[in-house]
Amino acid sequence: MISKRIIVVDDEEMIVDLCSRVLAEQGYHVRGASSGEEALGLAAREKFDMAVTDMLMPGMDGLETVHALKKQQPELIGVLITGHGTMDTAIQAMERGLSGFIRKPFMPLELVHIVKDAFQKSALSVENTRLKTLMPLYRLGERFLASRSSEEILNGLIDEVSAQSETERVSVMLYDRDEGCLRIVASRGIKEEIAAKVRLKPGERIAGLVFEKGAPLVLNGGPDENPEFASFLESKEISASLSFPLKVRDTILGVMNVSRLRKESPFSNADMEMLRVIGGQAALALENLRVMDERAEKVRMRTILEQYMAPEVAEVLISHGTNLSSLGEIRDITVLFADIRNFTPLVQQVPLITLRSFLNDFFELLTEVVYRFKGTLDKFMGDAALAYFGAPISEEQADRSALMSAIAIHQGFEKLQRAWTAKEEKLSKIGLGIGISSGEVFLGNVGSKRRLDYTVIGMDVNIAQRLATEAASGEVLIAKRGNCSFSPEFPVLRESSRLLKGLDKPVAILSVATKG
């Protein structure tokens, strides 16, 4: 265990020697000084836990000495020795922050008892401070869990810091990424019109320095004892100030600023620890709230987007951020186009509500099949639908997945048509053709700032659409382009090349009949 360090200050050398010898025998590390000025010089170079000082000395008296030493080392414990002690002197010593009082002449054991008692009182005070920190933390935790907004958290932080540190001025500054500066989002003891105008860049003034470096800055003694920061401490009434970074792991959200106007109220290490923990809890609550809000917004956006597009596309759009118009790339994919035959004439023969219900059932079937084979549904177009495979989810056998989907869609369509024909006989006249083509296409957003469409554009989109138009009912036509290949499990028949509408050269076609 590291021994406590004590400085004994008395203009009588005999008293210094006696105290040093007695305390050293108790295991303390002791240094002596003949005046307050000499003690301050030693304290500038060494750390002490206690100062045992005479009351009456030439120059600085004992109370002034302890006061000056505590400015250098706020955690220092003071014990006063006097030969003319009165009750008033004892009260004055306690009011000035001293922890012990002993009259001359004294016995060695009496000195030992007073010193040990002072250390025990200090330890109890530290423990009480820790308990005082834990209690508001418990209350803050409950309040933060119930908080529905950052304003609630910030107001709770201001209330707790003001109450626990007994400070007159408190402000919380958060970094605004859009403005690139710190701004006051909550405060007490600062005029609202002044707080609203404050904007600090990282590295600017005290709060900016604390934000940039990520380390707290304590200025005990106000402008007079901190000349390098005097211009930043605008009020001469400030006796102590503390700026603390609000951190969540390695991210600094902002800065908490606390200042005291009463004299003789420096910030101690216990104050710093308390503010660090409370500020850390608030910062964590703010970050958790931000994450929850962001997550809730993503869920809301995903729910909306998935009503109009594949889940994979919705995820791409949500993950990409706000600049959606730039989202796009060239990808090698497989396109599937499904087109219902003889559907248009039915508009004049079958009630529209019936056609709408039938299309809803068909598109529900098609969507389920495409998603099952990891495809992406691009859009519905009247009585037709466009889907693609191999993006955004990459897949080595996108062409096979497209063909498997086409066969499953045909099989589902046959069952659906039989069920609906029982209700509306005219639906027996319709059929379904599907076209498939593979190759490079543009995949991304197309449109204007007010209306974007995440879609595919390219030759193979046009080819798939032309093939769907030419396919017989129950047939899948496949453009044999690039690395298009299928396993023997499919009854693929090679056909002669066809010159499709809008193309300059014939395209080799494969067909798959799904009806026996």
**Which tens digits make up the pLDDT trace of 448-494?**
766 667 678 888 899 999 999 988 888 899 987 655 555 545 666 66
Task: Evaluate whether 500 touches 463 at the Cβ level (below 8 Å).
Answer: yes
| 388 lies in the same domain as 460 | yes
Q: Count Cβ atoms within 10 A of the Cβ of residue 250 and give its class: 0-12 exposed, 13-18 middle, 19 or more buried.
A: exposed
Q: Which helix (H) or strand (E) holds 252?
A: strand 251-260
pLDDT level of residue 135 (50, 70, 90 thresholds): low
3-class secondary structure per residue, 121-155? HHHHHHHHHHHHHHHHHHHHHHHHHHCCCHHHHHH
Q: What is the CATH number of the domain that holds 318?
A: 3.30.70.1230
Please indicate, yes or no, if residue 85 is contained in any of the structural domains.
yes
Same domain, 223 and 345: no
- pTM: predicted TM-score of the whole model, two decimal places: 0.48
CA atoms 459, 465, 469, 475: torsion sign: positive
Domain membership flag for residue 298: no
For 42-56, 103-117, 277-291, 318-332, which range has the lowest pLDDT when averaged over its residues?
Answer: 318-332
Given pLDDT bands bounded at 50, 70 and 90, which one contains residue 49? very high
Q: 276 and 236 share a domain? A: yes
Tell me the three state secondary structure of residue 473: coil
Tens digits of per-residue pLDDT, 153-162? 888 888 878 8
Whether 138 is covered by a domain: the verdict is: no
Say which CATH number the domain at 98 has.
3.40.50.2300
- Residue 1 binned pLDDT confidence (cut-offs 50, 70, 90): very low
Distance CA 467, CA 384 (A): 13
Mind listing the pLDDT tens digit for each residue in 251-273? 889 999 888 876 556 777 777 77
pLDDT confidence tier of residue 503, bands split at 50, 70 and 90? confident
Q: How many CB atoms lie within 10 A of CB 110?
A: 13
363 and 325 together in one domain: yes
* Strand duo 169-176 + 251-260: pairing: antiparallel
Q: Report phi then psi at 215, rounded to 5.
A: -130, 145
Q: Could you tell me what percent of the chain has a pLDDT over 70? A: 79
The residue range of the domain holding 52 is 5-126
Check residues 113 and 102 and name the one with the higher pLDDT: 113
Question: Are both 257 and 223 inside the same structural domain?
Answer: yes
Question: Is residue 363 located within the same domain as residue 471?
Answer: yes
Q: Is 49 strand, coil or helix?
A: coil
The tally of domains found in the chain comes to 3
Long-range own/partner contacts, residues 201-208 (CB < 8 A, 24 or more apart): 202/175, 205/232, 206/232, 206/241, 206/243, 206/257, 207/173, 207/182, 207/243, 207/255, 207/257, 208/182
